[in-house]
């Protein structure tokens, strides 16, 4: 049970830190402090969203299965 709680805390922390990173990067980009390739940023954004989506889905499945319900 402790491991499951730690997993929830970790995924929530990753989600929040990613959100803060998006806000910071967009602020620096719009302020002209970052002049790197915008396409690279878009690819990083898409990949990180896919990873977070997978983590959330896996966490929900594990939590439901831990509760004793059969998903499949």
The three state secondary structure string of the chain is CHHHHHHHHHHHHHHHHHHHHHHHHHHHHHCCCCCCCHHHHHHHHHHHHHHHHHHHHHHHHHHHHHCCCCCC
**pLDDT at position 72, please?**
59
Please state the domain count of the chain.
1
Distance CA 35, CA 25 (A): 11
Domain-located, residue 72: no
Q: Which two tokens stand for residue 9?
A: 């805390």
Domain-located, residue 60: yes
Domain-located, residue 22: yes
Domain-located, residue 71: no
Distance CA 2, CA 38 (A): 41
pLDDT tens-digit profile, the chain (72 residues): 888 889 999 999 988 888 887 787 777 777 766 666 667 777 878 888 899 999 999 999 888 888 887 665
Domain residues for the domain of 59 are 2-66
């Amino acid at each position: 049970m402790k491991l499951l709680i730690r997993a929830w805390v970790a995924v929530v922390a990753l989600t929040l830190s990613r959100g803060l990173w998006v806000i910071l990067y967009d602020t620096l980009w719009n302020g002209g402090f970052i002049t790197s390739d915008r396409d690279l940023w878009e690819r990083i954004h898409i990949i990180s969203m896919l990873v977070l989506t997978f983590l959330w889905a896996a966490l929900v499945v594990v939590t439901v299965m831990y509760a004793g319900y059969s998903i499949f």
